[in-house]
Amino acid sequence: MTSLRIIAGSLKGRRLLAPTWDGLRPTSDKLRETLFNVVAAQVGEARVLDGFAGTGAVGIEALSRGAAQVTFVESDPRALALIERNLRHCAVSDRYAIIRVRFADAARRLPPGSFELIFLDPPYAPDVIVSSLEAAAPLVAPGGVVILEHARRDAAPARAASLAKTRDIMSGDSALTLYLPASGGTGCE
């Protein structure tokens, strides 16, 4: 497994621990850099949801770049321990919460409109993509954005619940798809 590092911000250059088991697919440094280049203007002071958090790399990158708060959602106990170790390794002691349940369960418990940025990296399967977007839709704050990481081979839906696709970004075998609430807009297009 390749090493992970924080790309920019106050924690720039910090190395993150990667999983030692199969089944967890961390967002690559290159794809995270692309993601944060696209949403750079929105990260500062944003409330961020890192769904299917895995290593915590996306949420920690957001904290490094000035996010006000990050909520990590993960159900795998090994990944939860990895997120906690990565946060400690980066000396992050506040501005985050970890929710230890499946994403759909967390989404039902969180208040509507709670997050300006929602990053979802569900298992690469079309049915999981749609259900994850539908669960996330009520959580987007006005002017917020949902970013979905998925396999390039799996086309992201044009719409899911109240979300409308605005942009696809391809990178190797992966893709990022940006969604906005159907009635809102942001400067990330």
Banded pLDDT at 120 (limits 50, 70, 90): very high
Which two three-digit tokens encode residue 176?
């990022």
- Residue 188 lies inside a defined structural domain of this protein: no
Q: Domain range holding 170? A: 4-181
- Residue 49 lies inside a defined structural domain of this protein: yes
pLDDT of residue 1: 45
- Residue 187 lies inside a defined structural domain of this protein: no
The Cβ-side half-sphere exposure at 61, using a 13 Å CA radius, reads 29
The pLDDT of residue 185 is above 70: no
CATH value at residue 10: 3.40.50.150
- Residue 186 lies inside a defined structural domain of this protein: no
pLDDT of residue 183: 65
**Cα–Cα distance, 130 to 153 (Å, whole number):** 15
The pLDDT of residue 148 is above 70: yes
Residue 34's contacts (CB-CB under 8 Å, 6 or more residues apart) are: 169, 171, 176
Banded pLDDT at 126 (limits 50, 70, 90): confident
pLDDT of residue 127: 84
Number of domains within the chain: 1
- Residue 113 lies inside a defined structural domain of this protein: yes
Say what angle helices 77-89 and 57-64 make with each other, to 10 degrees.
30
Percent of the chain with pLDDT over 70: 95
- Residue 25 lies inside a defined structural domain of this protein: yes
- Residue 154 lies inside a defined structural domain of this protein: yes
Banded pLDDT at 2 (limits 50, 70, 90): low
- Give the global pTM: 0.92
pLDDT tens, position by position, 5-28 = 999 999 999 999 888 877 777 888
pLDDT of residue 184: 47
pLDDT tens, position by position, 38-60 = 999 999 999 999 999 999 999 99
